[in-house]
Structure 1
Amino acid sequence: MNKTILVTGASQRVGLELALQLAQAGYTVISASRTLMPTSPHPDILQFQADLTLEQDRLALIEYIASNHGGLRAIIHNASLWLDDSLENLNIMFKLHVEAPYHLNQALGQYLARPEKADIIHICDDTSSRGSKSHIAYAATKAALQNMVLSFAEKYAPNIRVNAILPGLLILKPDSTEDYRQQTLKKALLQFEPGAAPLIEAVFYLLEARYTTGNSIVINGGRHLKKGMSSE
Protein backbone atom coordinates (compact mmCIF):
# COMPACT_ATOMS: atom_id res chain seq x y z
CA MET A 1 0.00 0.00 0.00
CA ASN A 2 1.34 3.42 -0.94
CA LYS A 3 2.05 5.52 2.12
CA THR A 4 2.99 8.87 0.55
CA ILE A 5 0.91 11.92 1.51
CA LEU A 6 1.27 15.43 0.09
CA VAL A 7 0.59 18.10 2.72
CA THR A 8 0.70 21.74 1.68
CA GLY A 9 1.61 24.47 4.17
CA ALA A 10 3.30 22.02 6.52
CA SER A 11 6.29 24.03 7.70
CA GLN A 12 4.71 25.65 10.77
CA ARG A 13 1.88 25.60 13.31
CA VAL A 14 -0.91 23.09 12.68
CA GLY A 15 0.46 21.92 9.33
CA LEU A 16 3.81 21.02 10.88
CA GLU A 17 2.19 19.14 13.76
CA LEU A 18 0.02 17.26 11.27
CA ALA A 19 3.04 16.32 9.15
CA LEU A 20 4.88 15.05 12.23
CA GLN A 21 1.95 12.92 13.37
CA LEU A 22 1.56 11.42 9.90
CA ALA A 23 5.29 10.64 9.70
CA GLN A 24 5.23 9.06 13.14
CA ALA A 25 2.29 6.92 12.00
CA GLY A 26 4.40 5.49 9.17
CA TYR A 27 3.51 7.76 6.26
CA THR A 28 6.01 9.48 3.99
CA VAL A 29 5.04 13.15 3.94
CA ILE A 30 5.85 15.53 1.09
CA SER A 31 5.77 18.92 2.77
CA ALA A 32 5.16 21.60 0.14
CA SER A 33 5.62 25.08 1.60
CA ARG A 34 6.91 28.53 0.67
CA THR A 35 9.71 28.30 3.23
CA LEU A 36 11.90 25.36 4.15
CA MET A 37 12.85 24.43 7.68
CA PRO A 38 16.64 24.36 8.32
CA THR A 39 16.39 20.59 8.73
CA SER A 40 13.53 18.17 8.34
CA PRO A 41 11.87 17.47 11.72
CA HIS A 42 11.48 13.78 10.79
CA PRO A 43 13.31 11.45 8.36
CA ASP A 44 10.02 10.71 6.59
CA ILE A 45 9.13 14.36 5.98
CA LEU A 46 10.45 15.38 2.56
CA GLN A 47 10.56 19.14 2.10
CA PHE A 48 9.70 20.74 -1.25
CA GLN A 49 9.85 24.51 -1.57
CA ALA A 50 6.94 25.93 -3.56
CA ASP A 51 4.88 29.09 -3.59
CA LEU A 52 1.58 27.50 -4.54
CA THR A 53 0.14 30.78 -5.79
CA LEU A 54 2.56 30.40 -8.73
CA GLU A 55 1.73 28.00 -11.55
CA GLN A 56 5.38 27.26 -12.29
CA ASP A 57 5.99 26.17 -8.70
CA ARG A 58 2.96 23.88 -8.81
CA LEU A 59 4.19 22.37 -12.08
CA ALA A 60 7.58 21.72 -10.49
CA LEU A 61 5.87 19.99 -7.55
CA ILE A 62 3.77 17.85 -9.90
CA GLU A 63 6.91 16.85 -11.85
CA TYR A 64 8.73 16.00 -8.60
CA ILE A 65 5.92 13.68 -7.54
CA ALA A 66 5.66 12.10 -10.99
CA SER A 67 9.41 11.43 -11.10
CA ASN A 68 9.96 10.25 -7.54
CA HIS A 69 6.76 8.63 -6.27
CA GLY A 70 4.74 5.81 -7.79
CA GLY A 71 1.47 7.00 -6.30
CA LEU A 72 -0.13 9.08 -3.57
CA ARG A 73 -2.13 7.89 -0.59
CA ALA A 74 -3.58 11.37 0.01
CA ILE A 75 -3.42 15.09 -0.66
CA ILE A 76 -4.13 17.41 2.24
CA HIS A 77 -4.65 21.03 1.18
CA ASN A 78 -3.60 22.86 4.32
CA ALA A 79 -1.77 25.90 2.89
CA SER A 80 -3.61 29.06 3.86
CA LEU A 81 -3.32 32.81 4.17
CA TRP A 82 -5.51 34.96 6.44
CA LEU A 83 -5.23 38.41 4.90
CA ASP A 84 -7.21 41.61 5.31
CA ASP A 85 -9.84 42.49 2.73
CA SER A 86 -8.52 44.13 -0.41
CA LEU A 87 -8.73 43.30 -4.10
CA GLU A 88 -5.05 42.33 -4.16
CA ASN A 89 -5.43 40.03 -1.16
CA LEU A 90 -8.57 38.48 -2.64
CA ASN A 91 -6.56 37.52 -5.72
CA ILE A 92 -3.70 36.10 -3.64
CA MET A 93 -6.04 34.01 -1.46
CA PHE A 94 -7.99 32.84 -4.51
CA LYS A 95 -4.78 31.51 -6.04
CA LEU A 96 -3.81 29.70 -2.85
CA HIS A 97 -7.18 28.49 -1.57
CA VAL A 98 -8.89 27.73 -4.91
CA GLU A 99 -6.61 27.71 -7.95
CA ALA A 100 -3.81 25.67 -6.34
CA PRO A 101 -6.02 22.86 -4.95
CA TYR A 102 -7.97 22.73 -8.22
CA HIS A 103 -4.72 22.44 -10.24
CA LEU A 104 -3.17 19.81 -7.95
CA ASN A 105 -6.35 17.72 -7.70
CA GLN A 106 -6.65 17.63 -11.47
CA ALA A 107 -2.99 16.94 -12.18
CA LEU A 108 -2.39 14.39 -9.44
CA GLY A 109 -5.63 12.43 -9.75
CA GLN A 110 -3.89 9.72 -11.77
CA TYR A 111 -1.40 9.12 -8.93
CA LEU A 112 -4.16 8.99 -6.31
CA ALA A 113 -6.05 6.46 -8.42
CA ARG A 114 -3.27 3.87 -8.07
CA PRO A 115 -3.81 2.81 -4.43
CA GLU A 116 -6.94 0.84 -3.50
CA LYS A 117 -8.10 3.78 -1.39
CA ALA A 118 -6.94 7.38 -1.53
CA ASP A 119 -8.09 10.64 -0.02
CA ILE A 120 -8.17 14.33 -0.82
CA ILE A 121 -8.79 16.52 2.22
CA HIS A 122 -9.51 20.25 1.92
CA ILE A 123 -8.75 22.18 5.11
CA CYS A 124 -11.36 24.94 4.91
CA ASP A 125 -12.62 27.09 7.79
CA ASP A 126 -15.60 27.51 10.07
CA THR A 127 -16.35 30.72 8.17
CA SER A 128 -16.64 28.74 4.90
CA SER A 129 -20.31 28.13 5.59
CA ARG A 130 -21.27 31.20 7.63
CA GLY A 131 -19.21 34.07 6.23
CA SER A 132 -17.18 36.72 8.04
CA LYS A 133 -17.96 40.44 7.92
CA SER A 134 -14.35 41.34 8.78
CA HIS A 135 -12.65 38.82 6.47
CA ILE A 136 -14.97 38.60 3.47
CA ALA A 137 -12.31 37.59 0.94
CA TYR A 138 -10.87 34.90 3.19
CA ALA A 139 -14.28 33.37 3.92
CA ALA A 140 -15.31 33.51 0.25
CA THR A 141 -12.20 31.72 -1.02
CA LYS A 142 -12.46 29.10 1.70
CA ALA A 143 -16.12 28.61 0.74
CA ALA A 144 -15.01 27.93 -2.84
CA LEU A 145 -12.50 25.40 -1.51
CA GLN A 146 -15.30 23.70 0.42
CA ASN A 147 -17.58 23.67 -2.62
CA MET A 148 -14.92 21.97 -4.75
CA VAL A 149 -15.13 18.99 -2.41
CA LEU A 150 -18.55 18.18 -3.88
CA SER A 151 -17.37 18.22 -7.48
CA PHE A 152 -14.15 16.30 -6.95
CA ALA A 153 -15.91 13.73 -4.76
CA GLU A 154 -18.25 12.97 -7.65
CA LYS A 155 -15.46 13.08 -10.23
CA TYR A 156 -13.13 10.69 -8.41
CA ALA A 157 -15.51 8.20 -6.76
CA PRO A 158 -15.31 5.44 -5.75
CA ASN A 159 -11.59 4.92 -5.04
CA ILE A 160 -10.71 8.49 -4.11
CA ARG A 161 -12.66 10.02 -1.23
CA VAL A 162 -12.81 13.82 -1.11
CA ASN A 163 -13.81 15.60 2.09
CA ALA A 164 -13.38 18.87 3.96
CA ILE A 165 -12.47 19.82 7.50
CA LEU A 166 -13.81 23.13 8.82
CA PRO A 167 -11.89 24.23 11.91
CA GLY A 168 -12.75 27.16 14.08
CA LEU A 169 -10.20 28.49 16.54
CA LEU A 170 -7.34 26.03 17.06
CA ILE A 171 -4.29 28.08 18.05
CA LEU A 172 -4.25 31.79 18.83
CA LYS A 173 -1.42 33.87 17.42
CA PRO A 174 1.49 34.36 19.85
CA ASP A 175 1.01 38.15 19.93
CA SER A 176 -2.70 37.94 20.90
CA THR A 177 -3.63 40.11 23.87
CA GLU A 178 -5.35 38.58 26.87
CA ASP A 179 -8.47 40.63 26.12
CA TYR A 180 -8.57 39.34 22.52
CA ARG A 181 -7.98 35.80 23.77
CA GLN A 182 -10.91 35.94 26.18
CA GLN A 183 -13.26 37.51 23.63
CA THR A 184 -12.34 34.90 21.04
CA LEU A 185 -12.74 31.91 23.38
CA LYS A 186 -16.20 33.14 24.43
CA LYS A 187 -17.46 32.72 20.87
CA ALA A 188 -17.59 28.92 21.38
CA LEU A 189 -19.45 26.65 23.76
CA LEU A 190 -16.16 24.89 24.53
CA GLN A 191 -14.11 27.82 25.72
CA PHE A 192 -10.51 26.67 25.50
CA GLU A 193 -7.69 26.72 22.97
CA PRO A 194 -7.57 23.12 21.65
CA GLY A 195 -4.35 23.23 19.65
CA ALA A 196 -3.80 21.10 16.55
CA ALA A 197 -5.26 17.88 18.01
CA PRO A 198 -8.88 18.21 16.74
CA LEU A 199 -7.75 18.73 13.14
CA ILE A 200 -5.23 15.90 13.31
CA GLU A 201 -7.88 13.58 14.75
CA ALA A 202 -10.24 14.50 11.90
CA VAL A 203 -7.54 13.82 9.30
CA PHE A 204 -6.82 10.37 10.71
CA TYR A 205 -10.53 9.61 10.82
CA LEU A 206 -10.92 10.47 7.14
CA LEU A 207 -7.86 8.44 6.18
CA GLU A 208 -9.51 5.38 7.75
CA ALA A 209 -13.15 6.09 6.81
CA ARG A 210 -14.48 4.00 3.94
CA TYR A 211 -18.03 5.35 3.60
CA THR A 212 -17.46 9.10 3.73
CA THR A 213 -17.03 11.33 0.71
CA GLY A 214 -18.27 14.75 -0.34
CA ASN A 215 -18.73 15.74 3.31
CA SER A 216 -17.46 18.35 5.76
CA ILE A 217 -16.34 17.80 9.34
CA VAL A 218 -16.82 20.90 11.50
CA ILE A 219 -14.53 21.28 14.51
CA ASN A 220 -15.44 24.65 16.00
CA GLY A 221 -16.18 24.01 19.68
CA GLY A 222 -19.88 24.69 19.15
CA ARG A 223 -19.53 28.22 17.77
CA HIS A 224 -22.57 27.72 15.56
CA LEU A 225 -24.74 27.27 18.68
CA LYS A 226 -23.77 30.49 20.41
CA LYS A 227 -26.89 32.63 20.20
CA GLY A 228 -26.53 36.29 19.34
CA MET A 229 -22.89 36.05 18.28
CA SER A 230 -22.21 37.84 15.01
CA SER A 231 -19.75 36.51 12.46
CA GLU A 232 -16.17 37.66 12.82
Structure 2
Amino acid sequence: MTDSLSVPLIVTGANKRVGLALTKALSRQGYEVLAVYREQPGELAELEQVQTFQADLSCPEDRERLIDYLLTHALSIRGIIHNASRWLDDSLEHLRLMYQVHLEAPYHLNQALTPLLLKAPRADIIHISDDSALRGSRNHIAYTATKAGLSNLTLSFAEKLAPSVRVNTIAPGLLLFKEDSTVTYQQATLKKALLPYEPGAEPIIEAVLYLLASSYTTGSTVTVNGGRHLRHARNA
Protein backbone atom coordinates (compact mmCIF):
# COMPACT_ATOMS: atom_id res chain seq x y z
CA MET A 1 0.00 0.00 0.00
CA THR A 2 1.30 3.46 -0.90
CA ASP A 3 0.34 6.89 0.37
CA SER A 4 -0.95 8.40 -2.86
CA LEU A 5 -3.89 7.61 -5.11
CA SER A 6 -5.33 9.46 -8.07
CA VAL A 7 -8.62 7.97 -9.31
CA PRO A 8 -8.56 4.34 -8.19
CA LEU A 9 -10.83 1.49 -9.21
CA ILE A 10 -11.43 -0.57 -6.08
CA VAL A 11 -11.71 -4.36 -6.36
CA THR A 12 -12.64 -6.33 -3.24
CA GLY A 13 -11.81 -10.00 -2.82
CA ALA A 14 -8.93 -9.35 -5.18
CA ASN A 15 -6.33 -11.90 -4.11
CA LYS A 16 -7.83 -15.20 -5.31
CA ARG A 17 -9.44 -16.91 -8.27
CA VAL A 18 -11.75 -14.59 -10.25
CA GLY A 19 -10.87 -11.53 -8.17
CA LEU A 20 -7.16 -11.95 -8.88
CA ALA A 21 -7.70 -12.52 -12.60
CA LEU A 22 -9.97 -9.47 -12.75
CA THR A 23 -7.42 -7.32 -10.92
CA LYS A 24 -4.67 -8.34 -13.35
CA ALA A 25 -6.90 -7.68 -16.38
CA LEU A 26 -7.97 -4.23 -15.17
CA SER A 27 -4.36 -3.29 -14.46
CA ARG A 28 -3.39 -4.34 -17.99
CA GLN A 29 -6.18 -2.10 -19.29
CA GLY A 30 -4.52 0.85 -17.57
CA TYR A 31 -6.80 1.25 -14.55
CA GLU A 32 -5.29 2.31 -11.23
CA VAL A 33 -6.47 -0.61 -9.12
CA LEU A 34 -6.70 -0.66 -5.35
CA ALA A 35 -6.95 -4.38 -4.56
CA VAL A 36 -8.61 -5.20 -1.24
CA TYR A 37 -7.90 -8.60 0.29
CA ARG A 38 -8.95 -10.31 3.54
CA GLU A 39 -5.86 -12.22 4.69
CA GLN A 40 -2.73 -12.92 2.64
CA PRO A 41 -2.13 -10.84 -0.51
CA GLY A 42 -0.73 -13.81 -2.44
CA GLU A 43 0.15 -12.87 -6.03
CA LEU A 44 -1.08 -9.30 -5.48
CA ALA A 45 2.21 -8.54 -3.74
CA GLU A 46 4.04 -9.25 -7.01
CA LEU A 47 1.94 -6.89 -9.18
CA GLU A 48 3.91 -3.67 -9.55
CA GLN A 49 1.07 -1.57 -10.95
CA VAL A 50 -1.51 -2.63 -8.33
CA GLN A 51 -1.88 -1.08 -4.89
CA THR A 52 -3.18 -3.26 -2.08
CA PHE A 53 -5.13 -2.84 1.14
CA GLN A 54 -5.79 -5.52 3.77
CA ALA A 55 -9.30 -5.46 5.24
CA ASP A 56 -11.75 -8.05 6.50
CA LEU A 57 -14.95 -6.59 5.09
CA SER A 58 -17.08 -8.45 7.62
CA CYS A 59 -15.50 -6.20 10.25
CA PRO A 60 -16.88 -2.62 10.51
CA GLU A 61 -13.58 -1.35 11.92
CA ASP A 62 -11.67 -2.67 8.91
CA ARG A 63 -14.17 -1.06 6.56
CA GLU A 64 -13.74 2.25 8.38
CA ARG A 65 -9.96 1.99 7.91
CA LEU A 66 -10.44 1.50 4.18
CA ILE A 67 -12.91 4.36 3.96
CA ASP A 68 -10.66 6.73 5.94
CA TYR A 69 -7.68 5.80 3.77
CA LEU A 70 -9.57 6.56 0.57
CA LEU A 71 -11.10 9.80 1.87
CA THR A 72 -7.61 10.93 2.87
CA HIS A 73 -5.57 9.80 -0.15
CA ALA A 74 -7.84 9.60 -3.20
CA LEU A 75 -8.87 12.59 -5.30
CA SER A 76 -11.92 10.69 -6.53
CA ILE A 77 -12.93 7.09 -7.25
CA ARG A 78 -13.39 5.58 -10.71
CA GLY A 79 -15.49 2.79 -9.29
CA ILE A 80 -16.04 -0.02 -6.81
CA ILE A 81 -16.28 -3.66 -7.86
CA HIS A 82 -17.78 -5.62 -4.98
CA ASN A 83 -16.32 -9.05 -5.65
CA ALA A 84 -15.63 -10.19 -2.06
CA SER A 85 -17.68 -13.26 -1.29
CA ARG A 86 -17.99 -16.17 1.12
CA TRP A 87 -19.35 -19.58 0.10
CA LEU A 88 -20.43 -21.26 3.34
CA ASP A 89 -22.86 -23.94 4.41
CA ASP A 90 -26.17 -22.97 5.95
CA SER A 91 -26.13 -22.00 9.62
CA LEU A 92 -27.19 -18.93 11.56
CA GLU A 93 -23.56 -17.98 12.14
CA HIS A 94 -22.73 -18.30 8.45
CA LEU A 95 -25.85 -16.32 7.50
CA ARG A 96 -24.62 -13.44 9.66
CA LEU A 97 -21.14 -13.58 8.17
CA MET A 98 -22.35 -13.71 4.56
CA TYR A 99 -24.80 -10.88 5.30
CA GLN A 100 -21.87 -8.78 6.51
CA VAL A 101 -19.74 -9.51 3.45
CA HIS A 102 -22.36 -9.65 0.68
CA LEU A 103 -24.72 -6.92 1.86
CA GLU A 104 -23.56 -4.82 4.78
CA ALA A 105 -20.07 -4.13 3.40
CA PRO A 106 -21.20 -3.00 -0.09
CA TYR A 107 -23.91 -0.82 1.46
CA HIS A 108 -21.42 0.72 3.90
CA LEU A 109 -18.75 1.39 1.27
CA ASN A 110 -21.20 2.73 -1.32
CA GLN A 111 -22.70 5.17 1.16
CA ALA A 112 -19.44 6.35 2.69
CA LEU A 113 -17.55 6.71 -0.60
CA THR A 114 -20.33 8.44 -2.55
CA PRO A 115 -18.60 11.86 -2.26
CA LEU A 116 -15.50 10.47 -4.00
CA LEU A 117 -17.56 8.69 -6.64
CA LEU A 118 -19.40 11.91 -7.45
CA LYS A 119 -16.11 13.76 -7.95
CA ALA A 120 -15.04 11.47 -10.81
CA PRO A 121 -15.91 12.35 -14.42
CA ARG A 122 -17.27 8.79 -14.75
CA ALA A 123 -17.89 6.36 -11.90
CA ASP A 124 -19.30 2.85 -11.65
CA ILE A 125 -20.42 0.50 -8.92
CA ILE A 126 -20.54 -3.16 -9.91
CA HIS A 127 -21.99 -5.79 -7.58
CA ILE A 128 -20.84 -9.35 -8.30
CA SER A 129 -23.89 -11.36 -7.27
CA ASP A 130 -24.77 -14.90 -8.37
CA ASP A 131 -27.08 -16.53 -10.86
CA SER A 132 -28.64 -18.54 -8.03
CA ALA A 133 -29.88 -15.32 -6.40
CA LEU A 134 -32.61 -15.20 -9.04
CA ARG A 135 -33.97 -18.67 -8.27
CA GLY A 136 -32.80 -19.71 -4.78
CA SER A 137 -31.01 -22.86 -3.70
CA ARG A 138 -32.21 -25.51 -1.28
CA ASN A 139 -28.59 -26.37 -0.43
CA HIS A 140 -27.28 -22.81 0.05
CA ILE A 141 -30.20 -20.78 1.37
CA ALA A 142 -28.15 -18.20 3.27
CA TYR A 143 -25.73 -17.65 0.41
CA THR A 144 -28.41 -17.08 -2.22
CA ALA A 145 -30.51 -14.89 0.08
CA THR A 146 -27.62 -12.55 0.82
CA LYS A 147 -26.60 -12.46 -2.85
CA ALA A 148 -30.19 -11.58 -3.73
CA GLY A 149 -29.93 -8.68 -1.30
CA LEU A 150 -26.76 -7.54 -3.05
CA SER A 151 -28.57 -7.60 -6.39
CA ASN A 152 -31.35 -5.49 -4.89
CA LEU A 153 -28.83 -2.88 -3.72
CA THR A 154 -28.14 -2.23 -7.40
CA LEU A 155 -31.67 -0.99 -7.99
CA SER A 156 -31.65 1.43 -5.07
CA PHE A 157 -28.17 2.84 -5.58
CA ALA A 158 -28.70 3.15 -9.34
CA GLU A 159 -31.70 5.37 -8.69
CA LYS A 160 -30.04 7.30 -5.90
CA LEU A 161 -26.77 8.06 -7.71
CA ALA A 162 -28.02 8.62 -11.27
CA PRO A 163 -26.95 10.15 -13.54
CA SER A 164 -23.45 10.59 -12.12
CA VAL A 165 -22.74 6.99 -11.08
CA ARG A 166 -23.78 3.87 -12.99
CA VAL A 167 -24.68 0.93 -10.75
CA ASN A 168 -25.07 -2.60 -12.12
CA THR A 169 -24.98 -6.27 -11.16
CA ILE A 170 -23.11 -9.17 -12.73
CA ALA A 171 -24.74 -12.54 -11.98
CA PRO A 172 -22.37 -15.40 -12.86
CA GLY A 173 -23.10 -19.08 -12.92
CA LEU A 174 -20.28 -21.61 -12.78
CA LEU A 175 -16.90 -20.06 -13.53
CA LEU A 176 -14.24 -22.09 -11.75
CA PHE A 177 -14.59 -25.34 -9.87
CA LYS A 178 -13.31 -25.51 -6.32
CA GLU A 179 -10.02 -27.36 -6.01
CA ASP A 180 -11.62 -30.18 -4.00
CA SER A 181 -14.62 -30.78 -6.30
CA THR A 182 -15.00 -34.34 -7.56
CA VAL A 183 -15.16 -35.39 -11.20
CA THR A 184 -18.73 -36.62 -10.66
CA TYR A 185 -19.77 -33.25 -9.29
CA GLN A 186 -18.05 -31.41 -12.13
CA GLN A 187 -19.73 -33.50 -14.82
CA ALA A 188 -23.18 -33.11 -13.25
CA THR A 189 -22.73 -29.37 -12.84
CA LEU A 190 -21.55 -28.78 -16.40
CA LYS A 191 -24.69 -30.47 -17.73
CA LYS A 192 -26.83 -27.78 -16.09
CA ALA A 193 -25.79 -25.18 -18.71
CA LEU A 194 -26.36 -24.93 -22.45
CA LEU A 195 -22.64 -24.13 -22.76
CA PRO A 196 -21.26 -27.11 -20.81
CA TYR A 197 -17.70 -26.11 -19.99
CA GLU A 198 -15.72 -24.41 -17.22
CA PRO A 199 -15.13 -20.87 -18.58
CA GLY A 200 -12.76 -19.50 -15.96
CA ALA A 201 -12.66 -15.81 -15.07
CA GLU A 202 -13.00 -14.47 -18.62
CA PRO A 203 -16.82 -13.99 -18.61
CA ILE A 204 -16.57 -11.77 -15.53
CA ILE A 205 -13.71 -9.78 -17.04
CA GLU A 206 -15.68 -9.28 -20.27
CA ALA A 207 -18.77 -8.17 -18.36
CA VAL A 208 -16.84 -5.75 -16.14
CA LEU A 209 -15.09 -4.15 -19.10
CA TYR A 210 -18.42 -3.82 -20.89
CA LEU A 211 -20.06 -2.08 -17.93
CA LEU A 212 -17.09 0.24 -17.36
CA ALA A 213 -17.40 1.41 -20.96
CA SER A 214 -21.17 1.33 -21.39
CA SER A 215 -22.78 4.74 -21.81
CA TYR A 216 -26.42 3.80 -21.23
CA THR A 217 -26.56 0.95 -18.70
CA THR A 218 -27.53 1.35 -15.05
CA GLY A 219 -29.75 -0.57 -12.66
CA SER A 220 -29.26 -3.68 -14.78
CA THR A 221 -28.10 -7.26 -14.30
CA VAL A 222 -25.67 -8.87 -16.71
CA THR A 223 -26.11 -12.64 -16.45
CA VAL A 224 -23.17 -14.84 -17.46
CA ASN A 225 -24.29 -18.39 -16.77
CA GLY A 226 -23.89 -20.27 -20.06
CA GLY A 227 -27.64 -20.47 -20.54
CA ARG A 228 -28.21 -22.26 -17.26
CA HIS A 229 -31.53 -20.45 -16.70
CA LEU A 230 -32.92 -22.07 -19.85
CA ARG A 231 -32.04 -25.53 -18.60
CA HIS A 232 -33.92 -24.79 -15.41
CA ALA A 233 -36.91 -23.45 -17.34
CA ARG A 234 -36.97 -26.59 -19.50
CA ASN A 235 -36.96 -28.82 -16.40
CA ALA A 236 -39.63 -26.84 -14.57
TM-score relative to the length of structure 2: 0.94
Whole-Å Cα distance in 1 between the matches of residues 235 and 13 of structure 2?
31
Whole-Å Cα distance in 1 between the matches of residues 84 and 63 of structure 2?
13
Question: Which of 157-166 and 171-180 deviates more?
Answer: 171-180
1:43: Cα distance to partner? 1.6
Aligned to 1:198: 203
Question: Which of 210-219 and 31-40 deviates more?
Answer: 31-40
Aligned to 2:221: 216
Whole-Å Cα distance in 1 between the matches of residues 132 and 225 of structure 2?
10
Q: SS state of the match for residue 46, structure 2? A: coil
Moved over 6 A (4+): none
1:12 aligned partner, one-letter code? K
1:6 aligned partner, one-letter code? I
- Report percent identity of matched pairs: 54
Aligned to 1:163: 168
1:68: Cα distance to partner? 1.5
1:76 aligns with 2:101: no
Aligned to 1:10: 14
1:173 aligned partner, one-letter code? K
Unpaired segments of 5 or more residues in structure 2? 1-5
Contact 2:190 2:197 in 1 (8 A): yes
TM-score relative to the length of structure 1: 0.96
Aligned to 1:117: 122
Aligned to 1:54: 59
Aligned to 1:93: 98
1:44: Cα distance to partner? 2.0
Unpaired segments of 5 or more residues in structure 1? none
Structure in which a larger fraction of residues adopt helix: 2
Contact 1:6 1:31 in 2 (8 A): yes
The residue correspondences of 1:12-51 to structure 2 (distance < 5 A) are 12-38=16-42, 40-51=45-56
Whole-Å Cα distance in 1 between the matches of residues 150 and 211 of structure 2?
17
1:29 aligned partner, one-letter code? V
1:180 aligns with 2:185: yes
1:159: Cα distance to partner? 1.1
The equivalent position to 2:135 in structure 1, one of 99, 124, 130, is 130
C-alpha RMSD of matched pairs (Å): 1.2
Q: Deviations over 1:55-88 (max 9, x none)?
A: 0000000011112111110100000001000111
Whole-Å Cα distance in 1 between the matches of residues 8 and 40 of structure 2?
19
Contact 1:119 1:160 in 2 (8 A): yes
Instruction: Count residues with an aligned counterpart.
Output: 229
